[in-house]
Amino acid sequence: MSVSAVAVKNVHLMRRPGVAEFPDAVTARGAKHLDELAGMAAAGNRAVMLYLVQIPSATSFALARDIDPSYATAFDRARGAGVEAVAYRCAVARDAIALSGWVPIVN
């Protein structure tokens, strides 16, 4: 039986207009999650890295490679192993957070 795995990261960094970025700090834990997903994908399972962009004005998503080059390397390695990466913008309200649309990953 095939297993699916999803890792979710909250995104709240924007240094350029319209471009949300992750990570906002070095994240060895985030790189570990990507390596775990890569292992699952290499074993024939579906593995997805989901970035939840909590900035309503974001029109795209990019890795903040300058902030954490090790995370960027783990991301590239995971993608090479078959991990899917997707980013969705959220509508944030006082009493709810909901997906409001897909945004392209532009690395």
- List domains and CATH numbers for the chain: 4-103 (3.40.1350.60)
Nearest to 12 by CA among 90, 102, 66, 85: 90
Q: What is the pLDDT along the chain (107 residues), one digit of tens a residue?
A: 466 999 999 999 999 999 999 999 999 999 999 999 999 999 999 999 999 999 999 999 999 999 999 999 999 999 999 999 999 999 988 999 899 999 999 97
**95 secondary structure, DSSP code:** S
